[in-house]
Amino acid sequence: MGALWIAHVTVTDAEAYGKYAELAGPAIAKHGGTFVARGGKFVQLEGKERPRNVVARFPSVEVAVECYHSPEYQEALSHARGASERELMVVETSE
């Protein structure tokens, strides 16, 4: 089954986070991830609002988690730490 990687983000340092975004995209693509949503209009109905929301589709939960732990993504993530407040989850799809 496929999986969705869902991130809710508040950027606190745009320059550092820009470096994260520059590196994260290729790391995600290397693991078969494709972006479904990146920013864009949203309506917060419940919970804490984060102004940036990103959804990527992966072939499976396992591949999405493997991507997260990969050296390429961890390098990208080193630029996001301290430059953002974020929640990230992987959810298996029913397709």
Predicted TM-score (pTM) of this structure: 0.89
Residue 65 lies in a domain: yes
What is the per-residue pLDDT across 13-39, written as a single tens digit (0 to 9) for each?
999 999 999 999 999 999 999 999 998
Contact 43, 28 (CB under 8 A): no
CATH of the domain at 60: 3.30.70.100
Structural domain count, the chain: 1
Nearest to 32 by CA among 3, 71, 75: 3
Nearest to 36 by CA among 5, 76, 1, 80: 5
What is the per-residue pLDDT across 32-82, written as a single tens digit (0 to 9) for each?
999 999 988 999 999 999 999 999 999 999 999 999 999 999 999 999 999
| pLDDT reported for residue 39 | 85
Residue 33 lies in a domain: yes
Helix 14-30 vs helix 71-80: angle between axes, to the nearest 10 degrees?
160
Residue 47 lies in a domain: no
Cα–Cα dist 94/30, whole Å: 23
pLDDT over threshold 80, residue 95: no
